[in-house]
Amino acid sequence: MRQTITKIQGLTVNIIIEEVHHQHATGGLICYFASIYIQRHGCAEKRLVRRSRLPGAAAELKKEIQRDGIRAFDRMLP
């Protein structure tokens, strides 16, 4: 099992993407799980924004954030 944590620095918040990959001996994917959090600067508390079990969902979000900035979350947050 492999865990990857990506932290994207913003002006007022940090975006933290935690991905878990679990593969069997032949390399096939058994489990994939991604959690996306928002963390305000100077605060230890993280707020869960989105979860996904679709492989590549975190990579898509990274591209959206690079393209649209924090506005990418307007589609997710109520």
Contact 2, 30 (CB under 8 A): no
The SS3 assignment for 72 reads helix
Query: What pLDDT is attached to residue 77?
Result: 57
C-alpha 15/C-alpha 65 separation (Å) is: 9
Query: What pLDDT is attached to residue 1?
Result: 78
pLDDT in tens, the chain (78 residues): 788 898 888 788 888 889 888 888 888 878 888 898 989 888 899 999 888 888 877 788 778 877 887 677 676 655
pTM summary value: 0.75
C-alpha 69/C-alpha 59 separation (Å) is: 14
Structure tokens at 26: 């032949």
Query: What pLDDT is attached to residue 46?
Result: 92
Query: What pLDDT is attached to residue 11?
Result: 80
Structure tokens at 60: 């898509």
- Beta-strand ranges (E) seen in 24-63 are 29-40, 46-52
- Provide the residue range defining the domain that includes 14: 2-75
Number of structural domains found in the chain: 1
